[in-house]
Structure 1
Amino acid sequence: MSISQPLPDHPELLVFEYPSYREYRITPKKKSPNPNYTLKWMDNLLYPIILAFLWQKMSWKVPCIFSIIYILYIFKFRVLTLQHESVILLPPHGIQLETHWGISRTCSMNIKRKFIPAIKLTDAIIHEGLYGWNVLYYLAAVTLEPSADTTLHVAFEEMLPCHDILLEVYEGIYEIMLSKSADKFDKA
């Protein structure tokens, strides 16, 4: 296994090279210290205290159950942060898109995975979209479904990295998955 950082200007992109597959991982840039950050964590510490209080007082009445669900819902969106997003190239099988959410960089609590079989994969594209006055680039895998529907599966959906990073991943997809040189991984 080797870990490389192909773009010196973009340290958030890491490439994990294994004998039989390759992973392109993007981690969020480290945030500068924010004075409201500690307040956010202090605010989130109140949720378990409120939950414990409701647990004792209401003894499983309907309002208690709804309160617990609401507090857990708020807790999920206030505490969980994006850890990293990955595109994993599995040459004979397909592509897997992953998004990892968690409390810290080491503890994943929620992982969203989407596997695209190589049989359905027809192309990979870098496209641009407008968001307000901004032009955002995104990488998508194009698949052809049995019902003759073409579907786009967006990679790095939460972070939407810059064009240089997308181009590096795009070239890797073509090198390994969509060209004749993919045979070198089949023999591994």
Structure 2
Amino acid sequence: MQRTRPLPDCHPEFSVIQWSSFREYRVENWRLARDGSGNVVRGATSWGWIDLCLPVVFSFIWSRFRGSTMLCAFTILVVGFTAYCRCAQVLHESVLVFPAYGIQLETHRGYPSLKPFFVSRRFIHASRLEDFIINEGLRRWNVRYYLAAVHGSSTDKITIDVAFENILPHFPVLLEVYQGVQELMFYNHTDYMHTRI
């Protein structure tokens, strides 16, 4: 395994991990501040002082209003929801490229200092993969670029799966991933049916 960071100055959250049989393009859920200060802006946060106060508030309410079922149930719901939100944060998203087999889009969720609790994977077989594109979309008043895998389904419909759909990295990261996927999946293999000239 060899890990490189092709954009270390402006996008150190992006890394390329080269394995013997596949390549992983990973974007972690943090970025550098755009003001040039070099500060890290975290997307996935660990426990803060508010989270540490929740057990104290919970124990206070529990001891005072033990007879009030509604208030205790509400408190348990608030504490449970807060714990779930902390443990279901997006830690990183990846595009794994298996030349001649297909691509896999992954989202890893969990608590920042632990292993991921939830991992969602979508595999797109090479025989169904039509193209891997950079597209643009509108989000409120902003134009955002995103990567998408265009593939056919079993009912001959065209389906689009968005890569990095939660983190939405900036264009230089998308361009690196796009070029890598195009090189490995479409241009590198002469026996593949979608080879381009």
Q: 1:50 to 1:112 in 2, by over 3 A?
A: farther
SS of match in other structure, 1:24: strand
SS of match in other structure, 1:177: helix
Sequence identity percentage: 40
- Is residue 170 of structure 2 the alignment partner of residue 168 of structure 1? no
- Is residue 142 of structure 2 the alignment partner of residue 134 of structure 1? yes
Aligned partner of 1:44 in structure 2 is 51
The residue type paired with residue 99 of structure 1 is T
Gap regions ≥5 residues in structure 1: 184-188
Shift of 1:92: 3.2
Shift of 1:85: 1.1
Aligned partner of 1:18 in structure 2 is 19
- Is residue 115 of structure 2 the alignment partner of residue 114 of structure 1? no
Shift of 1:30: 5.8
**RMSD between superposed Cα atoms in Å:** 3.2
Query: Normalising to structure 1: TM-score of the pair?
Result: 0.77
SS of match in other structure, 1:160: coil
* Contact 2:11/2:31, CA 8 A, preserved across alignment: no
Q: 1:124 to 1:33 in 2, by over 3 A?
A: closer
- Is residue 145 of structure 2 the alignment partner of residue 145 of structure 1? no
Distance 1:65 1:182 in 2: 62
* Contact 2:11/2:32, CA 8 A, preserved across alignment: no
**Cα deviation digits, residues 110-147 of structure 1 (max 9, x gap):** 22222222222111110001112211000000010121
Distance 1:182 1:157 in 2: 31
SS of match in other structure, 1:167: helix
Query: Normalising to structure 2: TM-score of the pair?
Result: 0.74
* Contact 1:101/1:108, CA 8 A, preserved across alignment: yes
Structure with the largest fraction of helix:
1
